[in-house]
Structure formats: C-alpha cells, structure tokens
Homo-oligomer: A and B are copies of this chain.
Amino acid sequence: MTSRPPLHCLRCARAADSFAGCRTCAAEGIGVNTMPPLADLAGVDLAAYPGGPWGLPTALPVSGPPVTLGEGNTPCVRLRTDRDQGGSAEGELWLKYEGANPTGSHKDRAMAVGVAAAVAAGADTVVAASSGNAGAAAAAYAARAGLRCVVFTNERVPAGLRAQIDALGAERRVHPGAAGARNAAMAQAVEEHHWYPLTSYSSPSPGGNPYANEGYKSVAYELARDFAGRWLDAVVVPTSRADLLAGIGRGFRELAAAGLIAHEPRLVAAEPSAAAPYTAALRRPDRAEQERTRVAAQPTVAFSLGEERPCWQGLDALWRTAGAAVALDDEAITAEGRRLAAEGLVLEPSSAVGSAVARDLARTPGSLVVAIGTATGLKGLVG
C-alpha cells in the first residue's frame, strides 16, 4: 500500500477517515466529498499536453503505475446553430465528445485513475454501484489492471450497457428499487471484504471516489489547450452527483492558479427537470438553504442522471464561477437528441441535456460555449 495524499472536507476542512465523504457535514444533511489538495500546475506546457488524466500524472493523487486504455483527448466538434440556418448573429457552440473514450463515456477518465488507486492500495476487488456508464468503465479498467470487479446495478440499466458490463467480465448484481439497498450491500462489501469502492455508498451521496474524480480535471486541461488564447464563456455539464462538474471546476481552478488560463469559464449544470436539485437549489435565497435542498426525483429519459440532493462540491463549482443550473423536460431532451442525430451525432439522452442548455447560451453574439457530450448513444439504442 503506497502513501496517498490526505483527504479533507471541501466544506468544513475536517480530515476524512473513509470514502464516505464528510460525516460531520452529512449529519447536517449535506453530501460533500473529501478531496486531496489541488495540484500545482506551475511550469506546465499546455501546448505539449497529450490529453487524458495520465497526460499530466503529477496532477493526480496516485503514485502507482498508470492504468490506461487510451482514455481522454476527446475531440471538440462545432455544432450548427440557428445562425448557420440564416438566423441572427450568434456565438459558437461546441460539443466535447466524450463518447470517444474506450468504453464510450467520460467515466473512463475517472475509472482509469480510480483503478490505479485501487492497485496502489493493494486491492484485489473493486466495486461500483452504477445504473450505467460508471459500471462499464469500472469493469473495463478493473479488467485492464487484472482486478476482480463487482457492479451493483438496478433494473433500469439498458440492455447495451448490461451486455457491455458482462462482456468485460464484471460480476453484475441487480438490486431492484431504491439506492438504499445498493448502498448497504456496497458498504458491507467494503467493510467486511475490503473491496475497493469506485463509487460512493453513503447518503447523502458525497459524489464519488475522490481519487477517481481527479481524472475529470483532464477535461479542463484539454479545453484550455484546445481553446488556447480564446475567451471560453461557459462549459455546460450534464449533472447528477456532480463528479464531472466538480472535477472540471477543479481543473480550471488549477489552471487559473498557475496562470495557464486568463479566467475560469462559467460552469453550468444541465439537469432533467424530473430530477433537478441544482436548479432547485439556486432558486433558494441563501447558501445555507441551497446546500440543504432536496427534491423528489422522477424517472427521466436521461437515465444516467437523477438525484434528489445536490452534492456540495457541485454547488461550490457553480458559486465560484458565477455559474447557473438549468433544467429541461424530457420533451426538450428528446428533441435535442434528434437535433444532434440530424447532425451526425448519436449521444445518450443525458448528453443532449447539456447541448440543449449550451445551445441556448450560445445565442449570445460573440459567445463561446462548450457542452460536454458525456456518452455515446449506442448503448441505449437497442433492448
């Protein structure tokens, strides 16, 4: 077991004793993660950065060997806007296509780092609770590292995803119904069998494995490299537990602290209105109320999304960048999915939430807006 940097609560700064996030804040009803310190990027040459989490290993809180399947360095594709169809002057709308990752989603960035952390911790089994892409990514990187993988799922997992997890040799255990049963099973596995947890299993959710989540910082590094010298107004992120949103926010903070970008772009959480805790939170008058928001989550076509409470670090990312949260109903999400397909891109519905919100922001003349297209739609097309 190699040494890891210490974790501290992002909200109250207390040291962590587990992967359960901050227990003190949780007792107040607030789910917040405990994280390692931000990395120092001074002296980094972004132009030479090859992309991906392992393209800048000193920014990661893992000292062992990399576990990689070629994740990251995903392309940015410029989307058509109404201007291209003869509308009035508009800004630029780009999609960062995370479906190009090895298992087809952004989760690969996290699981590459999380599994490396598991190897460094001496684990022989990793475990993830996931109704989707995180489970496939966990299975792939565990296989790559030669670790056993158990994935706790629910009955809503699309057939394509189930088949992918199975093909990768992971053990899939279905826990019907609420997240509580999955969390309890996972807690037992971690505490009794010492399986390494790649996702969170306490309530309120702290928002993921802290080491794994640092893999998402690479999205910010790639955007800073690819849009070097340009003013990036906003980055729109489909958001549920805010692992991606908060990770991107940390990446931009590191870049700004090192003087590698002139400013941090606004971060915007895009949510399905069926489960939109960040949107609900930001409507409340003060932060003390915002961080204690709870909504009733309903099923949505954006099956990868849907939480009842915001994770604190997601709100923090919005607060720090004067960001926003926007919720869209299933009809708008489905319409945007069709619009993307009409432009040659088949993404999962959760990704369409992001590009739909970004499309609206890009109506501002002169603006430059990037939506994170989190995953390929191939897994959900059949079954």
Contacts and interface: CB of A to CB of B under 8 A. Distances in A.
A305 interface: no
Interface string A35-79: 000000000000000000000000000000000111101111100
A370 to B, nearest CB: 13
B381 A164 contact: yes
A228 interface: no
Interface string A84-112: 00000000000001011111100000000
A341 B101 CA distance: 15
A382 B74 CA distance: 26
Interface string A120-144: 0000000000000000000111111
A344 B143 contact: yes
Interface in A129-177: 139-144, 159-160, 163-164, 167-169
A219 to B, nearest CB: 15
Contact of A167 (B102, B142, B169, B346): B346
A251 interface: no
Interface stretch (A236-244, A285-293, A312-320, A371-379): A371-379
A229 interface: no
A132 to B, nearest CB: 13
Interface in A182-205: none
A342 interface: yes
B341 A143 contact: yes
Interface residues of A, number: 42
A158 to B, nearest CB: 9
Interface in A332-356: 341-346
Contacts of A139: 344
Given A70-B97, A77-B68, A377 B344 contact: no
A99 B379 CA distance: 14
Interface string A356-383: 0000000000000000000011110111
Nearest to A108: B344
A382 B165 CA distance: 12
Contact of A75 (B70, B99, B377): B70
A377 B166 CA distance: 13
Contacts of A75: 69-71, 73, 102
Nearest to A84: B146
Contacts of A73: 73, 75
A143 B378 contact: no
A218 to B, nearest CB: 13
A101 B70 CA distance: 13
Contacts of A104: 376, 378
Interface of A: 68-71, 73-77, 97, 99-104, 139-144, 159-160, 163-164, 167-169, 341-346, 376-379, 381-383
13 contacts: A69-B75, A69-B344, A73-B73, A73-B75, A103-B346, A104-B376, A140-B344, A141-B344, A143-B341, A164-B346, A167-B346, A168-B341, A168-B346
